[in-house]
A = this chain, B = another copy of it.
C-alpha cells in the first residue's frame, strides 16, 4: 500500500505541468543576452532592409532570386561563419509578364478592377478574354452548375474570409481552393478564364493577392487571376444588377524551362559533435510583388540572425548549427526537397529543424512535430522565455521547407508561431514591404530562434 501511494505520488508529480528539471541561471543569462543583443543592435532588421530594398522581389528563376542567393552567401561569408556554401537545385521559372488588367463596363463607364495573375497562370490572348461572368462560392457549385452554365464563361470564385476565427489562417485554409484549384475546375466545364477573390482578411484595402496554382493534364489551361477584396465586392454587386455582365481579363503569364538555382547554407561548427546538425531556416524566394519582407525575408534573417547571436555572444555550440535559405518554397518546394535528398544521400544526422515562415510580426510560441515525450520535455524550457515572447510549445507545426526532411528522416521539427492578426492583410500582395516590419518585433523572432537552438544544443530532445 505504501508503495502504491508513493508510486501514485511520484506519478502525480511527474504528470503535472510543474518543471521537472531545475532552472539553470547560465542558460537564462545566455537567453536574456540573445534578446538584449538583438533588441539593442537590430542586426536582423538591417539585414532585412538589405534583402528587401537592395535585392527585392525574388521569385524562383528570376534575376532577383539569383541576387538573393549571392546576397545570402555574402552576408554569411561577411559574418565569418565557419562554412558557407550553395546547394544546387533546379527550380520552376514562371514570369508574370507586363499586362494584367480586368474590367467591365457599367453604363459605358469602364470599371477597372485590381487584379494579379495567380502564380503560374497562362496568358490570355493579347486582346484579353471577354465573357459573361458566373459567380460561385465553392468547387462543388461548379460541378453542380455543369457545362451548360459554365461553358464559354468566366468563373468568379467569391468566397470571403471568415473573420470569426481567432487564428485567421483557418480562413486561408478554407478559401485557398479558389486560387489553387479554381482554374482546373472551371476549365473542366469549358470556362474560358477564371478569377477569384483574394485570400485576404482585409476589409478596406484592395491589394490583389497572388500565390501558387495548378493545372491538370488533359484539362485546358485557362488564365486565372486574383481580384482585390473591394474589387470582388464591386464585381459581385455588378453581376447581381446585371446577370449578363461581361468581364474582360488580360493576363500575360509565361512559363520557361526550369532554371538552376540554389539553397544557401551557412554553418557554425559544433565543438563536441560536429557531425550532428541543428538546422534553422526560412525560404529565400518570394512572390514577384512587394518585397517579400514578411514572407519570408523575415524567416531568412531570423535564421541567419540566430547563428549571428551565437557568434556575437561567443557561444560555441556542441552541435553544428546550420542556417538554410531554402529556394522555391512558393511555387515548387524544390529547395526543401533537395535539402532532404542531400541530407539522406550524405547520411547527415539532424537533431532538429526549425523554420520561420510566419512573418516578422511578434512571436508567440513554437509549434512542434515530434514525439509526445519530446513535447512534454520541451514544456520545461518555457521557464527561460519571457511570457510576452514565447508562451507555448504547441503540438503540430514546423515548416514547408523542413517538411520533407521531417517526413523522410523523422527529424523533429519546430515552426516559429507569430502573431498572425495582420498577416493576411498583406500576404502575397504588393503590401509586403520592409516598411511593414517593426524592428523590435522582428528581433524578438531572431532571439527566440537562437534561444530554442541553444536549448536543443544544450539539453537535446
**Residues of chain A whose beta carbon lies under 8 Å from any beta carbon of chain B:** 1-2, 5-6, 8-9, 12-13, 15-18, 35-37, 39-40, 163-168, 201, 203, 362, 364-365, 386-389, 391-392, 394, 417, 419-422, 438-441, 444
A337 to chain B, nearest CB (A): 31
A49 to chain B, nearest CB (A): 11
Are A421 and B440 CB-contacts (below 8 A) given A9-B12, A12-B13, A39-B166? yes
A4 to chain B, nearest CB (A): 10
A52 to chain B, nearest CB (A): 15
Measured between beta carbons, the chain B residues less than 8 angstroms from A166 are 35, 39, 386, 388-389, 444
A133 to chain B, nearest CB (A): 27
Instruction: Determine whether the beta carbon of B386 is less than 8 Å from that of A167.
Output: yes
A146 to chain B, nearest CB (A): 33
Closest Cβ neighbor of A442 among chain B residues: B421
Instruction: Determine whether the beta carbon of A391 is less than 8 Å from that of B392.
Output: yes
Contacts A5-B6, A35-B164, A421-B440 known; list 8 others, CB within 8 Å.
Answer: A9-B12, A12-B12, A17-B17, A36-B165, A167-B386, A388-B420, A419-B419, A422-B441
How far apart are the CA atoms of A398 and B341 in the complex, in Å?
54
Measured between beta carbons, the chain B residues less than 8 angstroms from A438 are 421-422
A191 to chain B, nearest CB (A): 32
How far apart are the CA atoms of A433 and B447 in the complex, in Å?
31
Measured between beta carbons, the chain B residues less than 8 angstroms from A164 are 35-37, 39-40
A431 to chain B, nearest CB (A): 13
**Contact of A365 (CB < 8 Å), options: B8, B165, B387:** B387
Measured between beta carbons, the chain B residues less than 8 angstroms from A389 are 166
A361 to chain B, nearest CB (A): 9
Measured between beta carbons, the chain B residues less than 8 angstroms from A388 are 166-167, 364, 417, 419-420
**What would 29 A/B residue contacts be, using CB atoms closer than 8 Å?**
A1-B2, A2-B2, A2-B5, A5-B5, A5-B9, A9-B9, A9-B12, A12-B12, A12-B16, A13-B16, A16-B16, A16-B17, A35-B164, A35-B166, A36-B165, A167-B388, A168-B440, A201-B440, A362-B421, A364-B387, A364-B391, A388-B420, A391-B391, A419-B419, A421-B438, A421-B440, A421-B444, A422-B438, A422-B440
